[in-house]
Amino acid sequence: MTDRLTSTQIAWRAAQDIADGAYVNLGIGFPEMVARFQPPGREAIFHTENGILGFGEAPPAGEEDWDLINAGKKAVTVKPGTAFFHHADSFAMVRGGHLDVAILGAYEVAETGDLANWSTGPKGVPAVGGAMDLVHGAKRVAVITEHVTKDGKPKLVKRCSLPLTGVGCVTRVYTSLAVIDVEKGRFVLREKLPSLSVSELQTMTGAELVLPETITDLIVPEL
């Protein structure tokens, strides 16, 4: 058993919770990986902020159409059922509660569901993109993240220290060690790596974990 999940394995785990027919927005970067692990027989429809629903995979190099890109400005393709729309409609889908799931990265998540994922502080050029919109409106706002920072500091905390993206918006966190729900301002442990004890996990978490009767083993294939 591994000590922690790889990014790919975290993405795989998050993908297992996406239902057939769900409308899903994946944040730029790491969350985009979730699309690769849709369980067989399920068809999710992916939304990108710049105005596409149901886009296909990246085209082969040299066949890009630069009018056909995703929010990360990477080339994508159309497939049967793709729809285009303008930016106001795109964010009406977001804020209007029409998306089933948004999956985002995080610097910090607080037990209150507050998310910090857009700014590491006042230095440099600030850039927010669609992050502050995406945390409002999707029925589920999930985060995928390492459980701790590179320096070993908890990313799941009582209160965020970095600038907030949204208040009380995160509903579930998939980490390299566990799956944790945010319920009534508390972290509720749902799944953890079997090799890890609850107390070990607690020491790597910056807020108290609520322990329900059943905590499932977090088991992910080698990918």
Give catalytic residues, as residue numbers.
49
CA-based torsion, 95, 99, 101, 106: positive or negative? negative
Is 176 an interacting residue with respect to other proteins (CB under 8 A)?
no
Residues 101-140 that bind other proteins (CB under 8 A): 114, 119, 124-133, 136-137
The Cα-based distances of 184 to 14, 23, 138, 168 in angstroms read 22, 25, 18, 10
Residue 84 touches other proteins, criterion: CB under 8 A: yes
Binding flag, residue 200, other proteins (CB under 8 A): no
Q: How far is the CB of 75 from other proteins (least distance, A)?
A: 8
Q: Does the footprint of other proteins cover residue 215 (CB under 8 A)?
A: no
Residue (4 or 85) nearer to other proteins, CB: 85
Q: How far is CA 172 from the centre of its chain?
A: 9
Lay out the site mask for other proteins across 59-78 (x = CB under 8 A, - = otherwise).
-----xxxxxx---x----x
Half-sphere exposure of 176 (CA within 13 A, CB side): 21
- Cβ atoms of 147 and 175 closer than 8 Å: yes
Asked if 87 interacts with other proteins (CB under 8 A), we say yes
Does the footprint of other proteins cover residue 165 (CB under 8 A)? yes
The distance of closest approach from Cβ of residue 91 to other proteins in the complex, given in angstroms and rounded to an integer, is 3
Q: Among positive and negative, which fits the CA dihedral 54, 221, 28, 17? A: positive
Q: How far is the CB of 57 from other proteins (least distance, A)?
A: 15
The secondary structure of residue 139, as a DSSP letter, is S
In the chain the first and final C-alpha atoms are separated, in Å, by 13
Provide the binding-site residues for other proteins, judged by CB under 8 A: 48-52, 64-69, 73, 78, 84-88, 90-91, 94-95, 114, 119, 124-133, 136-137, 163-167
